[in-house]
Amino acid sequence: MAGKKVLIVYAHQEPRSFNGSLKDVAVAELSRQGCTVTVSDLYAMDFEPRATRKDITGALSRPEFFSYGVEAYEACKKRSLTSDIIAEQKKVQEADLVMFQFPLYWFSVPAVLKGWMDRVLCQGFAFDIPGFYDDGLLKHGTLHFCGFKVLAPHISFAPEYASEEERKGMVASWAQRLKTIWNEEPIPCSPPWYFGQ
């Protein structure tokens, strides 16, 4: 897979954490395969998770009533989003594979990663109307809506309660999967009942 570009969006506060180990294994294995790997370490970057008026660098299209979705869409078209958003969008555009490495918080992603999704995957960049799900601009929820082809998640259950040996096994399992990740088929994300008949 030499020449492929991988973006890892990483959301954990501690580099020596289990999540940090999984991220490091991914960087090492994918680099060994000849991939160029970029890591967006959201905590280390002090990534701003809040979607606010400050994300638009130019004049608002509707200054009388602020609507983040409308303004981000217009700013995306005019390239007047803040530089941190544009930099992350560029990384996503250039990537052949985007991986999200994070601990599960309350059945969801950490706030900083949700904020990354809110700000980076805006209309005009990650999707449009029409132009979402299978017709999304990026080709399971948020990711499938934006057009990503989603691979099965790799879940390590309760590593904080596992023994050192069990954690090593979890990391080894991830490293093994990465050896053949380019051959995986996307999972189905849109059951027909989403849209009715």
Q: Would you write out the chain's pLDDT as a tens digit for each of its 197 residues?
A: 779 999 999 999 999 999 999 999 999 999 999 999 999 999 999 999 999 999 999 899 999 999 999 999 999 999 999 999 999 999 999 999 999 999 989 888 999 999 999 999 998 888 777 655 555 544 476 677 777 788 988 999 889 899 999 999 999 999 999 999 999 998 886 655 455 54
Question: What's the domain range around 80?
Answer: 5-194
Q: Which two tokens stand for residue 46?
A: 């002090």
Q: Which residue has the tokens 């380019």?
A: 182
The total number of structural domains that make up the chain: 1
Between the CA of residue 122 and those of 130, 155, 161, what are the distances in Å?
A: 14, 27, 37
Q: Which of 129, 166, 164 is nearest to 147 (CA)?
A: 129
* CA–CA distance, 23 with 57 (Å, rounded to integer): 33
pLDDT at residue number 178? 95
**CB-based contact 132:145 (threshold 8 Å):** yes
pLDDT at residue number 149? 84
Q: Which two tokens stand for residue 8?
A: 């890892």
* CA–CA distance, 139 with 170 (Å, rounded to integer): 29
Q: Which of 41, 47, 145, 157 is nearest to 99 (CA)?
A: 41
pLDDT at residue number 148? 79
* CA–CA distance, 177 with 48 (Å, rounded to integer): 32
pLDDT at residue number 129? 73
Q: Which residue has the tokens 């209309």?
A: 123
| CATH code of the domain in which 87 resides | 3.40.50.360
pLDDT at residue number 197? 47
